[in-house]
Amino acid sequence: MSIASTPPPAFRRTAPLAHARTQTHLRPVPDARSLTGARSLGEVGTLPSVVSESLLVPTLDGAVDYANFDHAASTPALVSVKKAVDTALRTYSSVHRGNGWASRVTSAWYEQARAEVRSFVGAREGDEVVFTRNSTDSFNLLARCLPRDTQVFVFETEHHAALLPWSARRTHRLPVPGSVGDAKVLLRAALRDHRGRNKLVVLAGASNVTGEIWPIRELAAIARKAGARVVLDAAQYAPHRRVDLDDLGVDYVVLSGHKLYAPFGTGVLAGRADWLDAAAPYLAGGGATKSVTSRGVVWQEGAARHEGGSPNVIGAIALAAACHALRTHAEAVEEHERTLGRRLLDGLDAIDGVQTYSLFTPDHERVAVATFTVDGVDSSLVSAALSAEHGIGVRDGKFCAHLCVDALLDDPYAAASTTAVRASVGLATTAEHVERLLAAVAELAEHGPRAEYVHGSQGWLPVNDPRALDLARPW
């Protein structure tokens, strides 16, 4: 079946299943950790636990332990994060300028959360740590703070959050590189052709499409030699690898709490203070001011300058708790993801009719993310069938990185698809989940979905879907 930009109204395999294996109905699993091989390192208490560890989800055949392969979009909350939030809610109050006991406690925890994040990103003396809503907010804040003549250099592989906030007139987009060497050549040439006083290079830590880790230190060194500053998009990097501004040679780092097991609406922009202090406040209002008189306004310096209004205290505390947990268990987290990520990618590569994608080379170091297509099956149908038939959560589409995905799929020898499926491993993923995903994808590649699906305004849905989505509100 060829894939068109508009999927057909219905999909069902009509050819006989010549080699159909016996279908095993999935049964509920009361405790994910009781499965053989589940949480390979968590059994000895070395991995942080997530709140949703034993989540049962409905399928067409009943219910099953949820296999979460959507960590690159948002992560579940850690148990330690929930505990920190529950504790903070007991004394929750507005921060700063309040002299009540609860306000003073909350204010202290808010600034201690900033210190925890400062340690997590390896901030240097004089660097600022500004709390924002998310990575998109952080990049837009930095874009507002650039000196007027700043030229920005960004690869087209970037997530839209890092690609789009900059002034179109002063942004130089570099094409998708075919190799690490190509990326270095492209950046060096672009910087050589622009000799302005202020330059900013935008780099990804890890691709949100393929998971491949970019050569941060090498590209940052090229930028510094040309007199440019560097901002690192660590949204996909920080949950999996250690971030250190000085060690990586970058000037700023951006990250999101909801990708760091702290899904409470907080992001961070950390780095050099001069551009931040010289710019107008990102949010004009209370907290950003030193004084307001009839003659004018004197604005704060430091983080407060760009944190106008009442900040998301609970989000900051949640993020700090997550940063502490990930720092404490860094080696175990990396090993867990390395083991499962390697099995996931190797397993997908071994399935006939499945194509995986890389920016650099298939064996390039990456975090545990795999993007793939299944020949003859629309990617959104793949994700719908994985969910409805197997209790597996993945993401399909272009992952807010349209230019990158278009470049990867522009291959006359690959599956004729315009979108792809992304499977991303994290702390909620177990060895059993990986094996279930590989078996399900192999079945889809050989036989197609088990059920009949129709395509409508909500995408692909089973014709007879018993799963209830109108659950009672949680409030």
SS3 state at 192: helix
Closest Cα partner for 203 from 187, 188, 192, 191?
187
User: Strands 10-11, 453-456: parallel, antiparallel or unpaired by DSSP?
Assistant: antiparallel
Q: Locate 29 and state its tokens.
A: 């699993």
Single-letter code of the amino acid located at 356: T
Q: Which residues of 424-450 are buried (b: 16+ CB within 10 A; e: fewer)?
A: bbbbbbbbbbbbbbbebbbbbbbebbb
Closest Cα partner for 318 from 160, 130, 85, 126?
85
How far is Cα 406 from Cα 225, in angstroms, rounded to an integer? 32
Calculated CA dihedral for residues 242, 243, 248, 251, nearest 10 degrees:
180
| 323 in catalytic set | no
Task: Please check whether residue 288 is in contact with residue 310, taking contact to mean a CB–CB distance below 8 angstroms.
Answer: no
How far is Cα 402 from Cα 78, in angstroms, rounded to an integer? 31
Strands (E), 357-399: 369-374, 392-393, 395-397
Catalytic residue among 145, 323, 400, 404: 400
- Would you tell me the crossing angle of helices 431-447 and 330-349 to the nearest 10 degrees? 20
Helix (H) / strand (E) element for 233: namely strand 229-233
How far is Cα 240 from Cα 425, in angstroms, rounded to an integer? 10
Residues with catalytic annotation? 400
